[in-house]
Structure 1
Amino acid sequence: MTSLHLTSGSPCPPLQDGKVRIYAMRFCPYAQRALLTSAAKNVETDIVWINLKDKPEWLVEKSPGGKVPSVEIGDGRIVYESLIIADYFDDAYPEPNLHSKDPVSKAVDRILVEGWGKAGSPFYQLAFVGSVDAEKVPELIKEFEGVVSTYSKELEKRGTKFFSGDERPGMLDYMIWPWFERRPVIPMFFPDAANWDEIRQNSAAIDQWYNRMKEDPAVAKYFVTPEIHHRYCITVKEGNIDFDMLTKV
């Protein structure tokens, strides 16, 4: 695993025998999906961090469009897009199963994974845009937390510790987790823009889930504290992104 994010002019590290290469960015929630599922499946990985503002020239050979995450198998084949990578790991490494074996339950969870996309735009504007209109902030918070509340109610309806059941997290849990790990940065940026106590009351089930997820070994392996996420988001808002922040902590 490289410790720093590689930039233009950096050579591509050689593949390591017996390991699956993951091209990622340490603070990218989509890349975190690949990291979480590989860890949950106990896959031997070699992670190469990529500076997305000054990308190595060879990245387009490893990921069309120059995006992360991307996975390179030992025989040189490439798999990219976070949800497809997650499915690849679940299919290629049978245990433990992350998708439900029940076709209907699996389909419902896939719908919920796709539905989570509604939270992406308001979260991005709140966490990463430096010049977001102050008058729009309460509505953006309402939009984002409205999606969160929907998932909290779904978990409450299921009556289980995780979306996948009581035993351990499953695919849906891991696919939405990266945004919940970053969720605390919003009240850190906008402490007076919403009634946060009321919001927490409306998402009690998901807040309990959050605390359980932090104890999961795969989540704990790549967990970044809200304080560090907040510091990273500040560098994004200010236009001076610090990809290598964790090497200085």
Structure 2
Amino acid sequence: MVAAKAATGEATSGEINSWSLHRTSVETTAGAEAAAAASVTRGNQAQDGGEPRGNGALQTKASRTPKMAAPCGKPQDGSSAPGSVPEGTIHLYSMKYCPFTCRTRVILEAKEIKYETVNINLLNKPNWFFEKNPLGLVPVLENCQSQLIDESPITCEFLDKSYPARRFLPTDPYQKAKQKMLLELFNKIPWGVSAFIRLCVAVHSAMDFEGKDKLEEEFQAQLNNFEQELAGPKTRFFGGDSVTMIDYMLWPWFTLLEPFSLSKFLELTPGLRSWMQAMQQDPAVKATATDSKAYLGFFQLYTQGNLEACDYSL
């Protein structure tokens, strides 16, 4: 199921061949140091959700004239790349609903880094984006030195080291290794990425498929394993009593439980349920939250192959 897998962006977006149209949205998010100068009402509440953080926002859109579809799914010229990255700013090439890019956005917000978001339509990728990442995957970071960093865990570690005022990765080598091992476990378990999306598709469309019951059993079993990760040290978060990198790395997938009516799986995991409630109070999580109705609207268009899906509610 290509559409279901590609919705994650980082995992399989290279499989999408519909690149004949493109629209890029640029959102400028001022950092904390510009808060006093920002007097514009936050213009992207539908995208970010949560409460404004007092630093304002500007949003513009750019589009190009539609052309005939390129043969064999190859990208076409016709759209213009964003200009150079201003000094003191970072460009984040993103897709609003992609959980991988949510990881990077939440770290940018948590560290109060000044950045501009360039929203890439993963169903209609512009030719120039492949110069940023030959695989055409998001997220990608670009700084004023034209340095490009991709893959969500790598972008987040880069930000954590480059902006050390507030660190989210442990400095202790063993604790850092434990977080990375837990992330690897999450990435490799059956529901981590593709199977999770399959389950969401099945629930959303009220369809059934062979192996659904087994998938749900595995889903519950893995939730139980993560429950034990919290129960062992008896902490509120996976890295201790405050939010750390591993919490932000796992969080985007747990946000899908509510819109896809999967919260029932938390009935047997009170620790995870409490963790989710605590995460929802985090300022960076609030600033990057997406409304459940908006996500379902996107998902419905995406599974239909609608080329406007990635731009839904921008």
TM-score, normalised via structure 2 length: 0.70
**Corresponding residue of 1:171:** 245
**Corresponding residue of 1:10:** 79
- For residues 43 and 145 of structure 1, what CA distance do their matches in structure 2 show? 37
1:127 aligns with 2:197: no
Shift of 1:131: 9.9
**Corresponding residue of 1:231:** 297
1:104 aligns with 2:177: no
8 Å CA contact 1:6–1:49 kept in 2: the answer is no
**Structure 1: tracts of 5 or more residues without a match:** none
Matched letter for residue 81 of structure 2: C
Give 2:99's match in structure 1, choosing from 12, 29, 41. 29
SS at match of 2:170: coil
Matched letter for residue 86 of structure 1: C
Size of the alignment, in residue pairs? 238
Cα RMSD over matched residues?
A: 2.2
Shift of 1:227: 3.0
Aligned ranges for residues 190-205 of structure 1 at < 5 Å?
196=264, 199-205=265-271
Matched letter for residue 246 of structure 2: L
Shift of 1:128: 4.2
**Corresponding residue of 2:152:** 82
**Corresponding residue of 1:94:** 164
Shift of 1:160: 1.5
TM-score, normalised via structure 1 length: 0.87
- For residues 58 and 66 of structure 1, what CA distance do their matches in structure 2 show? 10
Which entry has the higher C-alpha Rg, 1 or 2? 2
Shift of 1:238: 2.2
**Structure 2: tracts of 5 or more residues without a match:** 1-25, 28-58, 65-75
8 Å CA contact 1:125–1:132 kept in 2: the answer is no
SS at match of 1:71: strand
Shift of 1:84: 0.6
- For residues 242 and 209 of structure 1, what CA distance do their matches in structure 2 show? 31
Q: 1:6 to 1:49 in 2, by over 3 A?
A: farther
SS at match of 2:193: helix
- For residues 233 and 138 of structure 1, what CA distance do their matches in structure 2 show? 23
Give 1:211's match in structure 2, choosing from 257, 277, 298. 277
Matched letter for residue 103 of structure 2: R
- For residues 56 and 152 of structure 1, what CA distance do their matches in structure 2 show? 42
**Corresponding residue of 1:152:** 227
Q: Deviations over 1:25-70 (max 9, x none)?
A: 0000111111111111211111100001111110011112111000
- For residues 161 and 131 of structure 1, what CA distance do their matches in structure 2 show? 35
Q: 1:133 to 1:160 in 2, by over 3 A?
A: same
Sequence identity percentage: 29
Shift of 1:169: 1.2
Shift of 1:134: 3.0
**Corresponding residue of 2:258:** 184
More helix by share: 1
8 Å CA contact 1:99–1:170 kept in 2: the answer is yes
SS at match of 1:243: helix
Shift of 1:104: 1.2
SS at match of 1:158: coil
Shift of 1:5: 8.3
SS at match of 2:261: helix
SS at match of 1:187: coil
Give 2:186's match in structure 1, choosing from 116, 140, 143. 116
Matched letter for residue 82 of structure 2: P
Matched letter for residue 61 of structure 1: E
Matched letter for residue 104 of structure 2: A
Q: 1:132 to 1:140 in 2, by over 3 A?
A: farther
Q: Which runs of 4+ in 1 moved over 6 A?
A: 5-8, 129-132
1:244 aligns with 2:311: yes
1:48 aligns with 2:122: no
8 Å CA contact 1:5–1:25 kept in 2: the answer is no
Matched letter for residue 257 of structure 2: R
8 Å CA contact 1:17–1:74 kept in 2: the answer is yes
8 Å CA contact 2:223–2:269 kept in 1: the answer is yes
